[in-house]
Amino acid sequence: MGMGFLRGMRYEAVRAIASYYNTSTRGGHMTYRPLEISTVTDYIRDTALMGSIFSKNETLVAEDLADGNVNLVFRVSNGTTPSKTASVIVKQALPYARAVGESFPMPLKRISVEHHALTVQAQYCPQWVPRVYYYDEEMALMVMEDLNQHVIMRKGMMQQVQYPQFARHLGLFLARSLFYTSDLYCASEVKKQQVSLRINPELCRVTEDLVFTHPFIDHPGNHWNPRLTEEIHEIRKDSHLLAQIMDLKDRFMTHAEALIHGDLHTGSIMLNQDDTAVIDPEFSFYGPMAFDVGSLLGNLAISYVAQGAYGLDTKTAAEYRRWIAESIRTIWTVFSLEFRSLWSTNAQSWNNEVYMDQYLHRLLRESIGFGGIEIIRRIVGLAHTVDLEHITDNAMKTYAEITALRMGRLWIQRSNQLTHIDELLSLIREVAL
């Protein structure tokens, strides 16, 4: 994704960093090793999965599926389609971000962060997270359910596929995963202990830099379509806007509200017409609930804008945009109804309707602010999104990106005034004609 220019740090340096985090050595011997397509089947063969998922002596085959920014991903199965009857996904962390290279070190222990988050989410929302079959901390890997009947949502949206269950599922997933890990539900001491155990400083720092800081200053990791330069300079000159962004960054860094996913974009959702799975919570930590809601809404808005530049006929584009807008409304409506219901049933010591209303309004405002920042960073910062990047017509791409930048800026600016999700939908329609 245009991040190769950061490649080049010596591998020894990366190993030293991994070793510093104390996740790649045991008794002085290196046990961690990155798997390859030629070694992953042997790895699986040595696990108890032979005899549970797979039969003891069957032949295994591997495919390389990695296409995200960060990790190695393989599918291991007992044959190729149509003879395949069993398969798993092997997800392994590298000591750096895969799509950037060794110049972008990332700790191996992010797999343990992800494993923990999936375990907690499975407690409250088992139907919307992938099952973990096997976890190897030393190898920094998990073997997981193969969601081969699902697609990555961002890709499905680029084909204008509508997912009728998605918005309701995500509204419920957000409400339950966030409510049950917040102070509204948890015992005070337990929550504080969890906050301290689940700190994720290295990946939080990635978000602080890539989302909240670098896009708004000169930084070598940024890159953008040169035709956007004027618009970006306008954003960077707007002190009031920057102050709002800093306020939200402070919120991200200091508000340990609930165990959040931490990177809930449309590439972190796999789904089909009936089922939805939220994957990849390696950025998870106790942070502001609205960061998850806002990341999701911001990425839906990016797709909304991009639909106008795919060369679709007017009716198809308008119909798909209507579906995206309706999904945004449903996510928020289901989220807030479910959150209120959980609050009323489970939060006796917070029993106050006025405070509940205030709390939900604050979450809406913060979500829209975080969503606006997410939109801008995906155009200006290090990590872009394929929904905009794959637009081939230069003029259309520029138009879509300028529209998205304006959308992001307006979301941030208006976030403090909005009181109802319908006002956000009007804003989206006003900006993206």
- Binding residues for Mg ion, rule: CB under 5 A, are 280
Are 194 and 257 in contact, with CB atoms under 8 Å apart? no
Interface of this chain with ligand SR1, residues 377 to 416, rule: CB under 6 A: 383
132 bridge partner residues: 144
In terms of CB distance, is 138 or 209 closer to ligand SR1? 209
Name the minimum Å distance from CB 289 to Mg ion: 19
List the single partner that 388 binds among ligand SR1, Mg ion, none, CB under 5 to 8 Å by kind: none
Q: Report the residue number, 104 or 180, with the smaller CB distance to ligand SR1.
A: 104
Report phi then psi at 50, rounded to 5: -75, 110
Q: Which long-range contacts (CB under 8 A, 24 or more apart) does 307-314 make?
A: 307/160, 308/396, 308/399, 308/400, 308/403, 308/432, 308/433, 309/391, 309/393, 309/396, 309/397, 309/399, 309/400, 310/158, 310/391, 311/393, 311/396, 312/160
Nearest approach, Cβ of residue 68 and Mg ion (Å): 5
Please choose, from the candidates 348, 316, 321, the residue with its C-alpha nearest in 3D space to the C-alpha of residue 429.
Answer: 321
Residues 162-201 contacting ligand SR1, CB under 6 A: none
H and E: helices and strands count for the chain: 15, 14
Q: Which is nearer to Mg ion, 280 or 387 (CB)?
A: 280
210 sits near ligand SR1 (criterion: CB under 6 A): yes
Q: C-beta of 90: minimal distance to ligand SR1 in Å?
A: 19
**With respect to ligand SR1, which residue has the nearer C-beta, 102 or 263?**
263
279 neighbors 268 (Cβ within 8 angstroms):
yes
> Does position 252 bind ligand SR1 by CB under 6 A?
no
In the block, residue with structure tokens 């449309």 = 266
Which residue in this structure is represented by tokens 């600016």? 413
Residue with tokens 């220019």: 5
Q: Which of 102, 146, 257, 263 binds ligand SR1 (CB under 6 A)?
A: 263
Interface pattern 87-106 for ligand SR1 (x via CB under 6 A):
----------x--x---x--
Cα dihedral 161→368→181→213 (10° resolution): 100
Q: Kindly state the smallest distance separating residue 23's Cβ from Mg ion, in Å.
A: 19
DSSP state of 159: T
Q: How far is the CB of 302 from ligand SR1 (least distance, A)?
A: 13
Residue 389 CB neighbour total at 10 angstroms: 15
Identify which of residues 215 and 308 has a Cβ nearer to ligand SR1 in the complex. 215
Q: Is residue 262 exposed (0-12), middle (13-18) or buried (19+ Cβ within 10 Å)?
A: buried
Rounded CA separation 323/163 (Å)? 9
Q: With CB under 6 A, what is the number of residues at the site for ligand SR1? A: 9
Q: Write out the two tokens for 328.
A: 């945004």
Residue 104 interacting partner from ligand SR1, Mg ion, none (CB closer than 5 to 8 Å by kind) = ligand SR1
Look at residue 206 and give the partner it binds from ligand SR1, Mg ion, none, a contact being a CB closer than 5 to 8 Å depending on partner kind.
ligand SR1
Q: Which is nearer to ligand SR1, 210 or 407 (CB)?
A: 210
41 binds ligand SR1 (CB under 6 A): no
> Closest approach of Cβ 97 to ligand SR1, in Å?
4
Quote the least distance from Cβ 378 to ligand SR1, whole Å: 9
Q: Which residues have a Cβ under 8 Å from the Cβ of 218 and sit 6 or more positions away?
A: none
Least CB distance from residue 268 to Mg ion, whole Å? 6
The DSSP bridge pattern shows strands 141-145 and 151-152 to be unpaired
94 binds, among Mg ion, ligand SR1, none (CB under 5 to 8 A by kind): none
- Of 136 and 202, which has the nearer Cβ to ligand SR1? 202
Choose between 73 and 418: whose C-beta lies nearer to ligand SR1.
73
- We find the least distance from the C-beta atom of residue 232 to ligand SR1, in angstroms, to be 18
Given ligand SR1, Mg ion, none, residue 97, with its beta carbon under 5 to 8 Å by kind, binds ligand SR1
Distance of CA 38 to the CA centre of its chain: 29
Contacts of 420 (CB under 8 A, 6+ apart): 364
Q: How far is the CB of 267 from Mg ion (least distance, A)?
A: 6
* Minimum separation from the CB atom of position 36 to Mg ion (A): 21
Q: Do 361 and 332 form a contact (C-beta atoms < 8 A)?
A: no
Ramachandran angles phi, psi of 256, nearest 5°:
-80, 70
Q: Please choose which of ligand SR1, Mg ion, none residue 228 contacts, taking the beta carbon within 5 to 8 angstroms, the exact cut-off set by kind.
A: none
Give the one entry of ligand SR1, Mg ion, none that residue 339 binds, where binding means its C-beta sits below a cut-off of 5 to 8 angstroms depending on kind.
none
Using CB under 6 A, list all residues that contact ligand SR1.
69-70, 97, 100, 104, 206, 210, 263, 383
